[in-house]
Amino acid sequence: MKKNFTTSELPHIWASQSQDEGKAGSFYFRGKTIYSYGSHFPIATIDGDTVLFTKRSYSNTTAKHISKARGAISHKKIIYCYDVPVYLEYAKEVHENNFEKWKAAIKAIYAELGNKRIRNTEQRINSINGLVNELQTYCKHFKLTVKDKELKEFIKNASKPEFLEIARQAEGKAAIAKVAMMKKAGKAYEQYLKLWREFNEEEIRNLTSEVKNLITLYRGQIDYPTHLRFNGVQNRIETSKGVLIPSEIAKRAYIQLNGCLAKECNDINVPVMNYAITETGTDYIKAGCHTIPKTDITYIAKLLNW
């Protein structure tokens, strides 16, 4: 039995299911599934007169494999999904992954519609409806129901004529909720900062999961500041981002800053080990990628009687 084919022949042999396997370099099939470059990328799986077909793509070569496979099954019903099930009777995890990816795609466009400055709203609404139709077709084929509450709400709202207004109201509520959450995260970080300055590692470990998650959220901000503490045993200043500065070097920099701590200064160059303080603002100083609140400088200066 012939097993090696050209890239044009291979998908037609697969589509006809006239044999169990075949290959054309990195393009190959085993049983009902055809792959590109390996089992990590199933392009499609035949299920009777239906073909479960990937929505993903990677390299130019894979894109060509996808195009050739699609051309070979134009006579069949195609159901698109992100991750193609290979073993249909054991596809629960694949279904869950697909639901998550549809949800993420719908949610992203939904958020865009919430922005009143965004144009082409009709195109975005059509994109969401297209994703919802894909999802519902997939569910119907496998006799699945959507259980995720947020995804169910997206699907429900997509069919409403006032969908755009719903999206904008939801985005407004989300923005308010985000501000409230960041305030909560700031309070959690203040709790952590106090313990960190006390070198209370045990209490830090015993913080609840909720508080730890809020601390991580706070640290995830683009403008997340660098804080300072004094290590008396090692006689050094330590930053919350892991930089260790001998006290005498920190004091020298503090003295060199002079009047710049009380005002805004640009284009300065105060060395601190491998860093340099290059700017002071109304309430911060900058050293490389570190933005340090002036209140932290004052805290250390008072603690050490500088």
Over the stretch 6-47, which tens digit does the pLDDT of each residue have?
999 999 999 999 999 999 999 999 999 999 999 999 999 999
* Residue 236: pLDDT over 70: yes
Cβ atoms of 19 and 1 within 8 Å: the answer is: yes
Alpha carbon distance 183, 193 (integer Å) = 15
> Do 230 and 303 reside in the same domain of the chain?
yes
Phi-psi region of 6 (alpha: psi -120 to 50; beta: other; left: phi over 0): beta
- Give a yes or no: residue 1 inside a domain: no
Give the pTM: 0.59
pLDDT at 166: 67
Q: What is the pLDDT at residue 176?
A: 62
- The answer to whether residue 85 is domain-embedded is yes
Classify residue 169: in a domain, yes or no.
no
Element (H, E) at 197: helix 163-197
- pLDDT tens-digit readout, 202-221: 999 999 999 999 999 888 87
Q: Which residue has the tokens 């134009």?
A: 74
Tell me the C-alpha distance between 74 and 216, whole Å. 49
Q: What is the mean pLDDT of residues 277-282?
A: 92
Domain that holds residue 133: 92-159
Number of structural domains found in the chain: 4
CA distance 172 to 178: 10
Mean predicted confidence (pLDDT) in 125-153: 93
Does residue 171 sit within a domain? no
Beta bridge partners of 265: 280
pLDDT at 172 over 60: no
pLDDT tens column, 252-265: 999 998 888 889 99
Which whole number is the average pLDDT over 144-157? 90
Which of 90, 117, 146 represents a domain boundary (last residue)? 90
- pLDDT at site 165: 74
Pick the last residue of a domain from 56, 90, 124.
90
pLDDT of residue 162: 79
